[in-house]
Each structure stands twice: as structure tokens, then as C-alpha cells.
Amino acid sequence: MPPALPITAMILAAAILPGPLRALGQAPPTTQPEEAATTPSAEIPHIETTPRTIEFAGMSWGIKHNAEGKAGPGPNYFSNDERDVWVDDQGRLHLTISLRDGKWRCTEVVSEASTGYGEYEFQVTGPIDKLDPNVVLGLFTWDTQTWKTDANSEIDIEVTRWSKAGAPNLHYAVHPGWGPDTESGRHPERVKVRHMKLTGDVSTHVIQWSPTRVTCASYQGEEQDPKRLIDRWGFDDTNPPRIVGNGQGEVTDPIVIPKPSPTTNTRINLWLNNADRDHLGDPPTDGQPIEVIISGFKYTPADAAQARPDEE
């Protein structure tokens, strides 16, 4: 296991990666946020194997690994190497994007336990508002088995500029966010985009998921302090049902709020956006590796989460 990094280091250089880690401090980019965040990658599914697991936040997580093949999102090469993803002595999860054997390797962890309705709280240490333009940090729910009925049961908080300088870097989405049932293909009511600027070392990001409402929120600091709210967005069942196509002529059932199933789980990933559409994620703009620290995660199932009122 690589050595623990001091909490003041946040996202920084580390000897375990080839070359200096990306010091996050540049102004960034994006593609169309709605398009980049929600267009299905029909030819490259979220295929993975997880021969290695880790313990983080009191849960077991499989580590996405696709050997020498590519997988979504991106598509990208995903690594489960101990040099690329690990939990330090403080119990914090480290995800990286590193150049190894001539290929950029991204990282993703998948909860082994099923998760569904309830509250998801992610704490991130470091200036993720300054991530490289091509990098995407994803905090989300996913279910490979429920595409047809529930758009993969996907609800996202993503931090990225989608490869375009100056674009908004905080994205909330309830899927499907893109489909053949509008003139533009976009479902703008299902996506919220804004600029995020952090003022400290830690930020907290929350998804609250119920049958009738999804709420996403982000806060400065390590707790859900209303006085330090960055943004909050709610999506409820009064919105129109939407469908999404998979690029092969198939479409889903109409969906308002996706439902979970026994195979739904929580995922956290760090990956490279494919802005040039060449079937491979684009490297960091400065060619340097990236590291992000997930300092905490808590899933509270629906019955317990409902004890907390949904603030507006």
C-alpha cells in the first residue's frame, strides 16, 4: 500500500506515480455539459471485472479493471493497481489517473453492497474546482441491469469542465438526460450546471433519492451546513417522463425518476473525457497524472434518511 499523504496535501505530487502529480491550479474547459454528461456510449459499455477489493468508509468496494481493453465512461483504460487506487492509514480513498505502460489509466470503485433510495454523502479533500479540463470526478449511482426500465438507475454529481475552458464545473443529473424524444435530444430539466469555487480544503456532496424526488447539493466544508451551501437542486415526479436511446435503435421505457433494484450500487470514479470523439479519453492537458482524495462516504438507507427533512 502506498504511504498515506498528509491531509494538507489534498491533490498533489506523490512519489508512487510516474512523474509529478498534477498540481491543480489552472483555469479549465467543457463540451456541451448536457451532451457530454448524458449521451450514451453505445459502443463501449460499463464492462468491468473486479478481482481486487478494498475497504473504505465501512464498506467493501470492487475496483474496476478491464485489463488492456477499454470501458466506459470515456472510454478509458481502468486500473486496479495498488499504485493507482488505495486507502491510506487515515481511511481515505485515493483515486488517480496515471500514465503507465504508455496508456493513461483511470480508476473507479463500485460498492459491493446494493444501495437504493436514501441519502449519499461524499466528502472530498482537495481543490477539485481546479481539476484539469479533461478530467471528470463522478459521484453516482449505477445499475448495469436496469437500462431498459430505469436508465441504469443513474443519478450523478460530476465535477468537470468537459474539456472547455471557463465552462461550469459542477453538474447534477437525473437520467435519462438525453434521448430521441425532443427536437434537440436534450432533456434540460433533468440537468443542473453551475460554476463551483471552493474556499477550503474539503467539500461535501449529497444525493437524496426517493420515489418522488431527487435532491443534489454541495457544501463548503465537511458537513451539510446550510450556511455553507454551494448549490442545491431538486427534481421531482411532476417533471415529464423521458426516454433514452442506446444508439442501436432501442429505447427505454418512459422514466421520470429512475428506480433502484437489488443490483444498484454506488460508484466513485476519476476518468478522462473524450472530447475529440476518437474512442479514447483525452489525456490531461499538461500531461501530468491526477490524484483525488475521497475523505469520507456515508450511505443512509431511505427509512433513516427520511428522518431528515428535505431543505430547500
Least confident range from 39-53, 71-85, 243-257, 273-287: namely: 39-53
Taking residues 60-70, what's their average pLDDT? 91
Residue 2 confidence (pLDDT) above 60: no
Which of 16-20, 81-85, 170-174 comes out lowest in average pLDDT?
A: 16-20
**Using 50, 70 and 90 to split pLDDT, how confident is the model at 35?**
very low
d(CA 180, CA 254): 12
As its CATH architecture, domain 7-305 has Sandwich (2.60)
Distance (Å) of CA 134 to CA 91, 145, 169: 28, 29, 11
**pLDDT for 309 beyond 70:** no
Answer whether residue 24 shows pLDDT above 70. no
Query: What is the reported pTM?
Result: 0.85
- How does the average pLDDT of the chain come out, rounded? 86
Q: What is the pLDDT of residues 190-247, one digit of tens each?
A: 999 999 999 999 999 999 999 999 999 999 999 999 999 999 999 999 999 999 998 8
Predicted confidence at residue 170, as pLDDT, reads 98
The confidence score (pLDDT) of residue 23 equals: 33
- Across the chain, where does the E strand assignment appear? 53-56, 59-63, 77-78, 85-87, 93-100, 103-111, 118-125, 135-142, 155-159, 170-174, 191-194, 202-209, 213-220, 229-236, 265-272, 290-301
Least confident stretch, 18-32, 68-82, 140-154: 18-32
In order, the DSSP letters of 214-258 are EEEEEEESSS--GGGEEEEEEEETTSPPB--B-SSS-BPPPBSSP
Separation CA 12–CA 235 (nearest Å): 36
306 pLDDT tier (thresholds 50, 70, 90): low
pLDDT confidence bin for 283, thresholds 50/70/90: very high
The more confident residue out of 103 and 66 is: 103
| The predicted structure's pLDDT at residue 32 | 34
Digit-coded pLDDT (tens) for 92-132: 999 999 999 999 999 999 999 999 999 999 999 999 999 99
* Distances in whole angstroms, Cα of residue 202 to Cα of each of 59, 135, 263: 21, 19, 31
Residue 76: pLDDT band with limits 50, 70, 90:
very high
Task: Give the type of residue at 159.
Answer: V
For 63-67, 93-97, 228-232, 278-282, which range has the lowest pLDDT when averaged over its residues? 63-67
Given a cut of 90, whether residue 20 has pLDDT beyond it is no
pLDDT band at 51 (very low <50, low <70, confident <90, very high): confident
pLDDT on residue 98: 97
